[in-house]
Structures are given as structure tokens and as C-alpha cells.
Amino acid sequence: MFSWLRWSDRNDEWIETSEEALYQERQRVEQAEQRAKQAERQVFQVARNLAETGMEPVEIATVTGLTVEQVRSLLADP
């Protein structure tokens, strides 16, 4: 109804609406998910690199924080 009406604080800064706050939160969540996926890809690449040096899956799991099963599964995929 009054989409033109905005609240402001003492410094004349606009106070975000609930829709704006929700949008910002969704953006933060999406960015966090993207960073988590990137970090996971990096850990998997490190595991592959370590395997190429001859390191055993148990050692790779210890270094990367992955489980031995995850490492074996990762190394089984081409």
C-alpha cells in the first residue's frame, strides 16, 4: 500500500524492510553454500593430489579430514 513510505534511523539511513532483510539473508546463505562447495572441491583435489604422490587412503583421510570411505570413493571415480 505505502511502498513509498520508508523508515529511517537517526542518521537518516533507511531501515531495511522485511523483504529486503529476507533477500539479504538468502544472498548470504547462497554465498555460504557456494563457498562450502568450493572448499569441498578443493579438499577433494588435495586428496587426489596426495593419492598421486602414493599416499595411502588412511593417511589422506587423516590429512584432509575426510573419512577413509570418502577417500576411497573419490579415488575410485575417474
Read off the pLDDT of residues 27-68 as tens digits, 9 standing for 90 and up: 999 999 999 999 999 999 999 999 999 999 999 999 999 999
Q: How many CA atoms lie within 13 A of 70 on its CB side?
A: 16
**Burial, 28: exposed, middle or buried (Cβ in 10 Å; 0-12, 13-18, 19+)?**
exposed
Q: How many CA atoms lie within 13 A of 45 on its CB side?
A: 6
Q: How many CA atoms lie within 13 A of 41 on its CB side?
A: 6
pLDDT at 1: 55
Q: Are 51 and 78 contacting, i.e. CB atoms less than 8 angstroms apart?
A: no
Mean pLDDT of the residues in the chain: 93
| Whole-structure pTM value | 0.72
Q: DSSP letter at 54?
A: T
Read off the pLDDT of residues 57-72 as tens digits, 9 standing for 90 and up: 999 999 999 999 999 9
